């Protein structure tokens, strides 16, 4: 067995792990959003689903389906189905089986789901104002993180 040099040892320090920094940052962002999401009655994944459904209101995909939503959010159906079921129970989303293919489930927002969007912007503005986050610095992360996702095989 060969001895571990200082460079090898440094590669195994937690603080040098990009994966840990991404994981910790993701948890911190989710935690920062929690007060806003509590006011909306949503979890973070439900909020992400609603963001996509609101996007689709303005520019719908050819077929706004559960499958298309899962692809957009990088979530499998095992995660997405209970999430959508809960959004439906909250009266925010309507799910309907395709008459052509029973395996396909179409999605659309209810009126309550559309109305919820109007509550989000003021809460999001408040979240940003209450934090000491430099928006320019955050914006600078968007492109490199998108590139990282592509490099790792995310669509």
pLDDT at residue 38 in the model: 95
The token duo for 25 is 């940052």
CB atoms within 10 A of CB 51: 14
pLDDT at residue 8 in the model: 81
pLDDT greater than 60 at residue 1? no
Per domain, the residue ranges of the chain are 7-151
Q: Is 93 helix (H, G, I), strand (E, B) or coil?
A: strand
Instruction: State pTM to two decimals.
Output: 0.86
Reduced DSSP (H G I as helix, E B as strand, rest coil) percent helix, strand, coil of the chain, to 5: 70, 5, 25
Each residue's pLDDT tens digit, 130-145: 877 888 888 898 999 9
Q: Which residue has the tokens 């209810």?
A: 110
Each residue's pLDDT tens digit, 47-97: 999 999 999 998 888 779 999 999 999 999 899 999 999 999 999 999 999
Confidence of residue 126 (pLDDT cuts 50, 70, 90): confident
pLDDT at residue 2 in the model: 58
CATH number of 7-151: 1.10.10.10
- Dist. CA 8–CA 39, nearest whole Å: 47
Beta strands in the chain (DSSP E): 93-97, 105-109
């Amino acid at each position: 067995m060969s001895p571990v040099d200082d460079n090898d040892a440094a590669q195994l320090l937690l603080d040098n792990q990009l994966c840990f920094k991404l994981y910790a940052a993701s948890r911190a962002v989710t935690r920062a959003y929690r007060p806003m999401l509590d006011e909306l009655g949503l979890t973070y994944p439900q909020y992400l689903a609603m963001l996509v459904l609101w996007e689709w209101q303005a520019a719908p995909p050819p077929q706004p389906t559960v499958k298309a939503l899962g692809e957009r959010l990088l979530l499998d159906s095992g995660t997405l189905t209970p999430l959508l079921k809960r959004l439906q129970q909250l009266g925010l989303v309507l799910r309907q089986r395709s008459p052509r293919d029973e395996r396909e489930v179409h999605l659309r927002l209810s009126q309550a789901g559309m109305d919820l969007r109007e509550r989000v912007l003021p809460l999001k503005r408040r979240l940003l104002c209450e934090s000491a986050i430099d928006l320019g610095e955050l914006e600078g992360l968007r492109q490199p993180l998108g590139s990282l996702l592509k490099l790792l095989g995310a669509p």
